[in-house]
Amino acid sequence: MPVDGATELYGILGNPVCHSLSPAMHNAAFQHLGLNKVYVPFAAADAVAAINAFRALGVRGVSVTIPHKQAVIAELDGIDPVAAKIGAVNTLLISEGRVHGYNTDWLGANAALKQLTPLAGKTVLLLGAGGSARAIGFGLLEEGASIALASRTPGTGQALASALGCPWCPLEATADFCADILINATSVGMGGNREKTPVDRGCLTRFRIVMDIVYSPLETRLLREAKAAGCQTINGLSMLLYQGVAQFELWTGCAAPVEIMRQQLMDGMSPE
């Protein structure tokens, strides 16, 4: 569909954003449904100036990524209650100059998990204490799951555990832990750490489902070893996909073309 005077503008705000797979995913979805919308990257160091520009230019919706997920909150006209609990926003909905903030990271994680299991009443061992772990943790609580948190750094781990109202233990003390679901929300397994794993393979038989939010590589060492141990596995691309699906539906009011979006993400992955 050609861009014209009626085209609605969406995009992703971050610094940097050149690596993002979101433009391809959302533009493919817009095109598939014949929507006169376009999604572009907004690389900006100043979140406040960017929000003002979005208001002035009539931008309709924005994904927010590093380093602006917390900085945008002070500029919002309204915030979703779960996003307020999480303390981070990754989605903006803009209407008549008013900017409302949401967090779909937790929705993406929950949707990925619910492809395999309902979450109410399930026990989860969550690894990590950063922004992703925080979003996933609050999302699991919203669904009625119970959580135990493990992390490398006691200070941040204990603070997040206190906010979630759950127990905390050091990452190295998880060998005897048993739960329905194990989620890696750390960076272990990506980049220079791609041949590392956050837990010993010997403990993986204690979990039925193992999810890793790392999506490059698509199959981390953790997931390979979990499969070998007989676990069901969920890769990081699933969370990325479903948080984008939630954004798309929030912005458009239309059911997202999930398989079109999934294929775009797969096509955009770098060869291993």
DSSP the chain: ----TT-EEEEEEESS-TT-SHHHHHHHHHHHTT--EEEEEEE-S-HHHHHHHHHHHT--EEEE-TT-TTGGGGG-SEE-HHHHHHT---EEEEETTEEEEE--HHHHHHHHHHTT---TT-EEEEE--SHHHHHHHHHHHHTT-EEEEEES-HHHHHHHHHHHT--EEEGGG-TT---SEEEE-SSTTSGGGTT--SS-GGGGGG-SEEEE---SSSS-HHHHHHHHTT-EEE-HHHHHHHHHHHHHHHHHSS---HHHHHHHHHHHSPP-
pLDDT at 186: 93
* Token duo for residue 123: 């026990």
pLDDT at 176: 86
pLDDT beneath 50, residues of the chain: none
* Cα–Cα distance measured from residue 118 to residue 223, given in angstroms and rounded to the nearest whole number: 21
pLDDT of residue 7: 97
Question: CA angle at residue 97 from 53 to 86, to 5 degrees?
Answer: 85
Is 122 one of the catalytic residues? no
Tens digits of residue pLDDT in 163-213:
999 999 999 999 889 999 999 999 998 877 788 999 999 999 999 999 999
pLDDT at 269: 83
Q: Is 69 buried (19+), middle (13-18) or exposed (0-12) by CB count in 10 A?
A: buried
Q: What is the dihedral of CA 234, 239, 240, 242, to 10 degrees?
A: 120
* pLDDT value of position 120: 98
pLDDT number for residue 147: 98
Q: What is the pTM of this model?
A: 0.93
- CATH number for region 107-234: 3.40.50.720
**Is omega for the bond preceding 67 within 30 degrees of 0, making it cis?**
yes
CATH of region 8-103+241-268: 3.40.50.10860
Q: State the Rg of the chain over Cα.
A: 19
Q: What span, in angstroms and rounded, lies between the C-alpha atoms of 203 and 174?
A: 8
Distance from C-alpha of 129 to C-alpha of 134, rounded to nearest angstrom? 7
The span from the CA of 198 to the CA of 164, in Å, is 21
So what's the pLDDT on residue 189? 87
CA-CA distance, 226 to 212, in Å (whole number)? 10
Same topology, domains 8-103+241-268 and 107-234? Answer is yes
Choose, from 37, 69, 85, 122, the residue flagged as catalytic. 69
Task: List the chain domain ranges.
Answer: 8-103+241-268, 107-234
